[in-house]
Amino acid sequence: MPIQVVDLFCGVGGLSRGLQQAGLNVVAGFDIDETCRYTYEHNNHIPFHQHNIRDLTGDEILKCYAPNATKVLVGCAPCQPFSQMSIKRGEKTIREDEKYNLLLEFGRIIQYIRPAVISMENVPKIRKTDVFKEFLSIIKEEGYFTDEGNVVYCPDYGIPQNRHRFVLLASRFGEIHLIPPTHNRQAVTIRPFIGNLPPVEAGGVCQDDLMHRSARLSDKNLRRIRASVPGGTWKDWPEELRCECHKKDTGKTYTSVYGRMQWDAIGPTMTTQFHCYGTGRYGHPVQDRALTLREGALLQTFPNDYDFINPAANFSMKDIARHIGNAVPVKLGEAIGVSIINHLEIHLK
């Protein structure tokens, strides 16, 4: 029987591409955001279905699989309700987020189509929520074996970000586990990923790669980044360049904002605002600018030629940065894919 995968909350395809690289056949991606369609389909040659998962039926997903397929269903529900900042506000408050219970929609679809294997990826804090506990109860009641997931440190799988993610695998056939780390975390740095790109000025673009473009900097921010050192903080600046918020006690602990990265260290988590100098340690190690869109994509371990720019749509740095920051790192998707293949090779003999 062929093994086929459907990817819910697929975005621009970080998880789907990783699964493909592992050797799995991804037959469809579903997402509410139509702006992801071009990038998803153009790079991965997988049909993209624009749907709100709340309105999505199990039959619509079943149509994507061959009748005799071994079904795999994967998904990364939006993680914003489960961020560290959101969790601090308490369960009652985060329940008010409209995205909070999307994980249960994933559970509803699992109950209907009964895939052989499930993968769910999100931020680690989701484990502390009632919605995750309910999701876990659903899949256990459906007869799935699961170790209840692992918190993954991204450099262990070759991803140059100081980032932790939660990965849950479940199977109808028996115990299933994520493969052990594939890399020495101490050896994973940003240099091999972005060190060979041509230089670009703040607000500039490389004519050979329109994704290799950076946001403009104000005169003051240009002076700030020139005063910054790799791995340093805004405390290295002259007093007149410091932000008012950093002079207050509440702001003194936020030392990563306006920071420069270091060549031979791992990078920060790629958020949806990695292209903005003031939102984290997103200053280039030696050039006086924030990361380009291409650099952010490479640090998310997308291939060098992954195309995010739809020639038929207006260009938006903000939208593309959001697409990249919201994606599952490709190499993490690949590790999930290898784990699924290893498991099915044992149980489908």
Q: What is the pLDDT of residue 317?
A: 95
pLDDT tens per residue, range 14-70: 999 999 999 999 999 999 999 999 999 999 999 999 999 999 999 999 999 999 999
pLDDT in tens, 161-173: 999 999 999 999 9
Segments in the chain forming alpha helices (H) = 14-22, 37-44, 58-62, 84-88, 91-94, 102-113, 130-141, 191-194, 219-226, 293-299, 317-326, 330-347
Q: In the prediction, which pLDDT does 125 show?
A: 87
Closest among 166, 201, 206 to 284, alpha carbons compared: 201
The token pair that represents 205 in the structure block: 């673009």
pLDDT tens column, 128-139: 888 899 999 999
- The closest alpha carbon to 58, from 116, 111, 5, belongs to 111
Residue 72 pLDDT greater than 70, yes or no: yes
* DSSP symbol at 328: P
Percent of the chain exceeding pLDDT 90 equals 80
Where residue 77 falls among pLDDT bands split at 50, 70, 90?
confident
Regarding beta strands 164-171 and 117-122, do their DSSP bridges make them parallel or antiparallel, or are they unpaired?
antiparallel
Higher-pLDDT residue of 286 and 85 is 286
Distance between CA 210 and CA 81 in Å, rounded?
A: 33
In this predicted structure, the answer to whether residue 158 has a pLDDT above a threshold of 80 is yes
Q: Express as a percent the part of the chain with pLDDT over 70.
A: 90
Residue 267 contacts by C-beta under 8 Å, 6 or more apart in sequence?
A: 160, 161, 162, 190, 261, 281, 299
Tens of pLDDT along 213-268?
Answer: 999 999 999 999 999 999 998 888 888 898 777 666 555 566 678 999 999 999 99
User: Does residue 96 have a pLDDT over 60?
Assistant: no
pLDDT at residue 273 in the model? 95
| CA distance linking residue 256 with residue 155, whole number of Å | 19
Question: For 173-227, what is each residue's pLDDT tens digit?
Answer: 999 999 999 999 999 999 999 999 999 999 999 999 999 999 999 999 999 999 9
Helices (H), 56-129: 58-62, 84-88, 91-94, 102-113
Architecture in CATH for domain 3-185+329-347: 3-Layer(aba) Sandwich (3.40)
Q: Which residues are catalytic?
A: 79
Domain ranges of the chain: 3-185+329-347, 191-326
Whether residue 145 has pLDDT greater than 70: yes
Higher pLDDT, 314 or 80: 314
Out of 3.40.50.1110, 3.90.120.10, 3.40.630.70, 3.10.129.10, the CATH code matching 191-326 is 3.90.120.10
| Reported pTM | 0.93
- pLDDT, residue 245, reads 72
Structure tokens at 8: 């819910």
Nearest to 103 by CA among 88, 82, 87: 82
pLDDT for residue 87 is more than 60: no
Q: What is the mean pLDDT of the chain?
A: 92
- Write down the pLDDT at residue 95: 58
Cα gap 136→314, rounded to integer Å: 41
Beta bridge mates, 168: 120
One-letter amino acid for residue 22 of the chain: A
pLDDT digits (tens, 9 = 90+) for 291-304: 999 999 999 999 99
